[in-house]
Amino acid sequence: MNQPPPSGIDTPLQEPGAAAPPPEKKKSDLGPRLITSAIGVPVILWLLFWAPPAGFAILIGAAVVVATWEFLSMVTAGTNRVAQVITCVCALALFAVLLLRSTPTTPPDGYEVMVTLAFSGLAIFITYLFTYRDLDKVSLHIGTSGMALIYCAVMPTTLALLFRDGGDKGGLWVTMCMAVVWGSDTGAYFTGRAFGKHKLASRVSPKKTVEGAVGGLLTSIAVVLMFKFTPLMPELELWQVFALAVPANFLGQIGDLCESLIKRAHGVKDSGVIIYGHGGLLDRIDALIFAAPWFYVFQRYIAS
Q: Which residues of the chain have pLDDT under 70?
A: 1-34, 36-37, 275-278
pTM of the model: 0.86
What does the chain look like in DSSP terms, one character per residue? -PPPPPTT--SPPPPTTPPPPPPPPPPP-HHHHHHHHHHHHHHHHHHHHTS-HHHHHHHHHHHHHHHHHHHHHHHHTTS-HHHHHHHHHHHHHHHHHHHHT--SSSPPPHHHHHHHHHHHHHHHHHHHHHH-S-TTTHHHHHHHHHHHIIIIIIHHHHHHHHHHHTGGGHHHHHHHHHHHHHHHHHHHHHHHHHH--SEEETTTEEEEEHHHHHHHHHHHHHHHHHHHTSSSSTT--HHHHHHHHHHHHHHHHHHHHHHHHHHHHTT-S-S-S-BTTTBSHHHHHTTHHHHHHHHHHHHHHT--
> What's the confidence (pLDDT) of residue 32?
62
Structure confidence by residue, pLDDT tens digits, 205-258: 988 999 999 999 999 999 999 999 999 999 999 999 999 999 999 999 999 999
